Amino acid sequence: MAALKMINAKFKSKCSETGKTIYKGDVCFYDYQYKQVFHPSADIVRIRQSQADEAQENAYFDNFCLQNNI
């Protein structure tokens, strides 16, 4: 699963999930692996961000346990 990168749109395009128009200069999310762009209100953006947050929290906890011999 590739991470979504927040970018400013360089071209007018449509969200791959919702079909909403993304105008040049608008903030959007780009999936470099599949070459798709998503509107910030798309469900996939919230899902992937929550997965990334959970992964970061798990890595922090694992590192804490290693450093404290738990």
Give 9's Cβ-side CA count (13 Å radius).
19
Structure tokens at 48: 């992937």
Cα–Cα–Cα angle for 59, 53, 18, nearest 5°? 145
- Please indicate, yes or no, whether the overall pTM of this predicted structure exceeds 0.85: no
Helix (H, G, I), strand (E, B) or coil at 13: strand
Contact indicator for 9, 23 with CB cutoff of 8 Å: yes
Contact indicator for 10, 3 with CB cutoff of 8 Å: no
Q: Give tens-digit pLDDT for 19-54.
A: 999 999 999 999 999 999 999 999 888 788 777 778
